[in-house]
Structure formats: C-alpha cells, structure tokens
C-alpha cells in the first residue's frame, strides 16, 4: 500500500512513537532531561504539515526509565512540555502524549506492543477510529501496536521485521511529503 494514495482528512488520527521518530534515540540509554531531547531533522516541519491534515496527533511512548528510577514523571512532563512547545512554535500541534512507565518485564498492556495507550487515547477522544488511524514508529513493537489496534502502519527503519507494514520511510518528513 502506498501512503501517497491514502485520503487523509480531519477524521483521521496520527499516532507517533517518540524516541527514534520525533527525537534522537540513545541506544541503551534514555532521554532523562530536557537538555537531552534533540529533535530529528525535519520533524517539526513534518508535524506542522500533519497538523493540517490529521484531526488529531497523539504520541505513544514506552518510558520504562521511570520504573527503573532513572527519571521521574515530572522530568518526563518537562520533556514533553518542551517538545510540544517547540512543535507549536513551528506551526504544529500534538493533541496528547501517552506514556507507559512500566518495565518491559512487567508485560503491562499499557506498554507497546500492547494497545493500552491506543485505548486510553480512544477513551479521551471517542471520535478516534482506528481504521482511520496511522501509527508511525521505528520498532517492531510499534508496528505490532498499530497493527493490533487496526491502524495503518508506517515503519521508519530499513530492517526486516515480522510484521506486514503498509509503508516504509526514512523520516517523518519523507512520510509527510507522501501525503496530500
């Protein structure tokens, strides 16, 4: 399926992973402070375009660093407030950020690949229709999350995974360019 053929309008919802999609991922480490948060190139411009196309934009992110005691809920809120403020300055908007603070080993349904964060978003925004939603992520768990919820899935990586993806791109800006 080619994203350039998707007819996206304000009835659609865009779900975005955070680390590796919006900001630079630190393999084996975490973004623990605002000072560690660095947008990937073109992300703010891409989200500005998405804001003109999609009715809602939601960030869904696993943040087990909280359960591991590496940073607090307050630290994460400061990071997300900064992220949202910078995106708004560039003309974009994030409607909500959902995060799962549990450890991977807890097998919480809130953690991706579980769809708890998608269900929480639907509870807060009842108009969300997963068949008119897109999940963009850079991991297999992101793709399983989107597929399990019934969304179209866009993979920001070139590795092969065990999930049938709908679109593969190198960046959010490339995905934004494919949409009308």
Tell me the per-residue pLDDT of 5-53, one tens digit each, with 9 for 90 and over.
Answer: 999 999 999 999 999 999 999 888 999 999 999 999 999 999 999 999 9
Q: Tokens at residue 36, please?
A: 């560690």
Cis bond upstream, residue 46 (ω within 30): no
Out of 19, 75, 138, 166, the active site residue is: 19
Structural domain boundaries, residue 125: 3-178
The Cα–Cα gap between 163 and 66 comes to 29
CA 21 to each of CA 15, 59, 68, 107: distance values in angstroms, whole numbers, following the listed order: 11, 10, 23, 23
pLDDT of residue 163: 92
Out of 9, 17, 104, 124, the active site residue is: 17
CATH number at residue 108: 3.40.50.1000
Question: pLDDT band for position 1 (50/70/90)?
Answer: low
Within 10 Å of residue 85's Cβ, how many Cβ atoms? Answer: 9
> Which value, to the nearest 10 degrees, does the dihedral of the CA atoms of residues 147, 150, 156, 160 take?
30
Within 10 Å of residue 105's Cβ, how many Cβ atoms? Answer: 8
Listed in sequence order, the DSSP H helices in the chain are 43-53, 73-89, 116-124, 140-149, 172-178
Tell me the per-residue pLDDT of 121-142, one tens digit each, with 9 for 90 and over.
Answer: 999 999 999 999 999 999 999 9
Annotation marks residue 17 as catalytic: yes
Mean pLDDT of the chain, nearest integer: 96
Global model pTM greater than 0.85: yes
Phi-psi region of 91 (alpha: psi -120 to 50; beta: other; left: phi over 0): left
Specify the number of domains making up the chain: 1
């Amino acid at each position: 399926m080619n994203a350039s053929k998707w007819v996206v309008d304000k009835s659609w919802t865009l779900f975005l992973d955070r680390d590796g999609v919006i900001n630079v991922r630190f393999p084996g480490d975490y973004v623990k402070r605002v000072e560690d948060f660095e947008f990937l190139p073109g992300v703010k411009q891409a989200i500005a375009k998405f804001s003109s196309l999609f009715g809602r934009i939601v960030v869904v992110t696993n943040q087990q660093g909280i359960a591991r005691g590496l940073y607090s809920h307050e630290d994460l809120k400061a990071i997300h407030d900064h992220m949202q403020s910078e995106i708004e300055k560039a003309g974009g908007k994030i409607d909500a950020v959902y995060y799962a603070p549990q450890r991977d080993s807890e097998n919480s349904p809130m953690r991706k690949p579980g769809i708890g964060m998608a269900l929480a978003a639907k509870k807060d925004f009842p108009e969300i229709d997963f068949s008119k939603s897109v999940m963009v992520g850079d991991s297999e768990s992101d793709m399983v999350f989107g597929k399990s919820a019934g969304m179209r899935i866009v993979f920001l990586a070139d590795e092969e995974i065990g999930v049938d993806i709908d679109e593969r791109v190198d960046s959010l800006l490339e995905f934004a360019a494919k949409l009308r």
